[in-house]
Amino acid sequence: MPSVAPDFSAQILVVDDDKAMREACCQILARQGFQVEAAADARQGLALLEDRSFDVILMDLVMPDVDGLEALKRIKALDSTCEVIIISGYGTIPSAVEAIKSGAFHFLSKPFAPDDLRHLVARALEKRRLNLENLALRQELKSHEDRGEIIYQSAAMARVMEMVARVAATDSTVLLTGESGTGKGLVAHQIHQLSRRARRPFVTVDCGTLVETLFESELFGHVKGAFTGADANKIGKFELAQHGTLFFDEISNISLEVQAKLLRAVEERKVCKVGSHRVITVDVRLIAATNKDLTQAIREGTFRGDLFYRLNVVNLHLPPLRERKEDIPLLAHHFLAKYTHRLRKPIRGISPEVLEQLVQHDWPGNVRELENTIERLVVLSTGPELEPADLSYAGFFQGPAPDCPPLALRDLEREHIRRILVRFPHNKSEVARVLGIDRKTLREKLRRYNLDS
């Protein structure tokens, strides 16, 4: 039996036209620490739900204004994540069973003991929590389908990982800095996995891709009708990350207006959905990452100093790949194994000459660029191991590869794209991903090189 003690201040709505029953339920639940609202009929309850969110609704099945089954349908249309417990009297049990088929969590037969109500509400809250965690997990899997390992042997990365282990044991806010492609997202996830919140959600906010006008809705959620297109209540990232970790990737990309609203959430751990004044208390661990110098952004007036100091409680700087060159061979072999398996290519290894070239390269795109390069080499190579000749398609080989005539950059790019198209003839999204460009750029290049037929 789940504990009746709430993990956080849950919002409960009691809808019953019987005043004595309504007040008794409210008192029982309020004593448990829940925030309880009451409605004398279904119309009043639906009006409250349109204005704010509830975790659980306790609702009588038979009411004079709106039938309980009809009210249930409307509730689910407004907020599909809300759990509804139906109160039914003798003779309405078949209808209560029908309500469960329509989406209700469970039903209570009148009369019932206070403990029955407390335990059933606790079960409903646990189900809602699990549903929200599953939703957060699905979003993470969708945006990070290929989250990799942190591969290193250098002293520079060993120091970073030592700090990761230390900070993970706390709830302190962490700011990760470093160039693009250094693995800030992997480190953020590692901090979460080593923390006491590891069994709870890890939710990412990609500040570089979210549309500015929808940013507030993504962070805090919205209620139905808050703006054009808001056809139902939406759960924001803060709520999805409840009791877990919320990771802001490339935090410098958000506007000053959103920064001001984010500051309050960071300071108070309280949020309001767009279109609602209800304050929702959240318990999340915050991690932010940036590839920019935020102190310079503060001087330029594009980033708030007060928000920076709230985020920069613990700073971890990830070194660029050119400062940890001893990790390059290890990473290269790791990515080779990964993509030979994925692409089913019988490539056994990397020649010493290729490894030397990889180590000497500066890698402005860091580990991400190295991974993309190894994937391209695996796609294009025809031999049993990666040879210097293969590097002519990687974009950084100096001088012509053995037995390969020098090509103009335009021809080199055209041939590279053509080979990827042959590899993935019916999947432009995969072609764009392997090339490291978006689909719009791919379409432009296909037209430019007459490859779009």
Q: Report pLDDT for 427.
A: 83
Same structural domain, 131 and 153: no
Examine the domain organization and report whether 150 and 286 are in the same domain. Answer: yes
Instruction: Please name the residues in contact with 107: beta carbons below 8 A apart, sequence gap of 6 or more.
Output: 61, 85, 86, 87, 88, 93, 96, 97, 99, 100
Domain boundary, last residue among 302, 319, 336: 319
* Judgement on whether residues 160 and 129 belong to the same structural domain of the protein: no
Residue 399 domain-assigned (yes or no): yes
Does 370 map to a domain? yes
**pLDDT on residue 169:** 94
Q: Which amino acid is at 179?
A: E
Given the DSSP bridges, would you call strands 234-235 and 221-222 parallel, antiparallel or unpaired? Answer: antiparallel
Label residue 47 exposed, middle or buried (CB < 10 Å: 0-12, 13-18, 19+): exposed
Residues paired with 39 in a beta bridge: 15
Residues 349 and 297 in one domain: no
Range of the domain at 112: 11-137
Which of 114, 137, 160 terminates a domain? The answer is 137
Q: Do 156 and 288 share a structural domain? A: yes
Name the residue among 34, 4, 20, 6 with its Cα closest to residue 87. 20
CATH number of the domain residue 421 falls in: 1.10.8.60
Tell me: do 126 and 154 sit in the same domain.
Answer: no
Among the candidates 319, 344, 371, a domain finishes at 319
Q: Which residues contact 339 (CB under 8 A, 6 or more apart)?
A: 345, 374, 375, 378, 379
**How far is 374 from 129, CA to CA, in rounded Å?**
41
- Domain membership of residue 240 (yes or no) is yes
CA distance 314 to 304: 18
Per-residue pLDDT of the chain (453 residues; tens, 9 = 90+): 344 344 446 889 999 988 999 999 999 999 888 889 999 999 999 888 877 778 899 998 888 878 778 888 888 877 777 899 988 876 677 777 888 888 899 988 888 899 999 999 999 998 888 888 777 766 665 555 456 689 999 999 999 999 999 999 999 999 999 999 999 999 999 999 999 999 888 999 999 877 778 889 999 998 888 888 888 888 899 989 988 999 999 999 999 999 999 999 999 888 888 888 777 888 999 999 999 999 999 999 999 999 999 999 999 999 999 999 999 999 999 999 999 998 888 899 999 999 999 999 888 889 999 999 999 899 888 889 998 888 876 765 444 444 445 455 567 677 778 877 877 777 888 888 777 777 778 888 888 888 876
Q: What pLDDT sits at residue 397?
A: 46
Check residue 166 and give its pLDDT. Answer: 96
Question: What's the pTM value of the predicted model, to 2 decimals?
Answer: 0.70
Co-location of 341 and 227 in the same domain: no
Which phi and psi angles does 174 have, rounded to 5°? -120, 135
80 and 123 together in one domain: yes
- Domain contains 275: yes
Is residue 336 located within the same domain as residue 309? no
**Domain-embedded: residue 2:** no
Does residue 29 sit within a domain?
yes
Closest CA to 41 of 26, 22, 24: 22
- Residue 213's CATH number: 3.40.50.300
In a shared domain, residues 263 and 385: no
- 349 and 427 inside one domain: yes
Cβ count within 10 A of residue 404: 14
The total of structural domains in the chain comes to 3
Give me the helices (H) in 53-209, please: 68-78, 93-101, 114-143, 155-168, 184-193
- Does residue 3 lie in a domain region? no
The residue count for the chain = 453
Whether residue 281 sits in one domain with residue 347: no
